[in-house]
Amino acid sequence: MTETARADAGQVAWGATAVCVRYGRTVALADVSLSVPAGQVTAVVGGDGAGKSTLLRCLAGALAPDSGEITRPPKERTGYLPASSGIYPDLTVSENLDFRAQGYGMSRRVAMDRAAEYLDRAGLTQATDRLAGQLSGGMRQKLAVIAAMLHQPELIVLDEPTTGVDPVSRSGLWWLIASAAAEGCAVVLATTYLDEAERCASVLALDAGRALAAGTAEEIVAAMPGSLHAVARRPDGDAAAKAWRRAGRWRVWDPDRTADGDGDGDGRIQPDLADAVTVAALAREILAGQVHGGTS
């Protein structure tokens, strides 16, 4: 394992190269690479157990990979929001930020001015004297993001910052996240919401610790093989293994027919990122089944 911490972010995109992590016999990450350039938001998506948190912990310096290379700024130039939020419920909003500022070695005046600005942007100015444990989920997550970006780091690592947050608070969180990127910070976040990932400059989709797809949302969708159709009921036979339910209807993937191929076109739909990631997972499952079937 090689870990590189550099102070000059202008010369390199932070990220991971061929990273592998194992927990005993369980492979959490297998040869995963990710580039996190400055000035943009990069998303890591996938379901439970996909490896998102493990990858972000490596990027934040909280976990050393078994092999591969992590390139990141020094820890004092990195902001990290773990899945647990890292907020102390028995401290007030102001006390949480003051505690974090002291840990970063910030001057009290700079910390107070910056905290006031971020709290005002996030709509939390009236909550500065409230205990963090008494905040709503959305307010607590906004506080956690502010804490991670308070010292204006070169890299901000956010582990599912919007999970379980109401739509209004999600919008406020995204404003904070986008603001950090606009100020030149490299931001990487994990999310289970693929509609959020579509907002990001680039996306890495993980499944069982392995990369499924990577690129911009448009590139991932364009690379999807075959075509997609919407039907009212789940199909029978072999097609059932290539079908999933979404928005009250069934989507069926036809790997042998391109979007421009022959056919009557009934029910054919334009895929989005969620469809393309689902198809990538299905294609991997089918290929694995064929390999296992051929060697049995």
pLDDT digit string, tens, across residues 250-279: 999 998 876 554 444 458 899 999 999 999
- Report pTM: 0.87
User: 8-45: buried (b, 16+ CB within 10 Å) or exposed (e) per residue?
Assistant: ebeeeebbbbebbbeeeeebbbbebebbbbbebbbbbb
Torsions phi, psi for 98 (to 5 deg):
-65, -40
Mean predicted confidence (pLDDT) in 20-44: 96
Distance CA 280, CA 269 (A): 17
Round to the nearest angstrom and report the end-to-end CA distance of the chain: 36
pLDDT digit string, tens, across residues 197-242: 999 999 999 999 999 999 999 999 999 999 999 998 999 988 899 9
Amino acid at 294: G
- Name the region of 22 (left: φ>0; alpha: ψ -120 to 50; beta: rest): beta
Domain architecture of the chain: domains with CATH? 2-215 (3.40.50.300), 224-295 (no CATH)
pLDDT digit string, tens, across residues 83-102: 888 899 999 999 999 999 99
Sign of CA dihedral 183, 141, 58, 27: negative
Query: How many helices and strands (H and E) does the chain possess?
Result: 8, 14
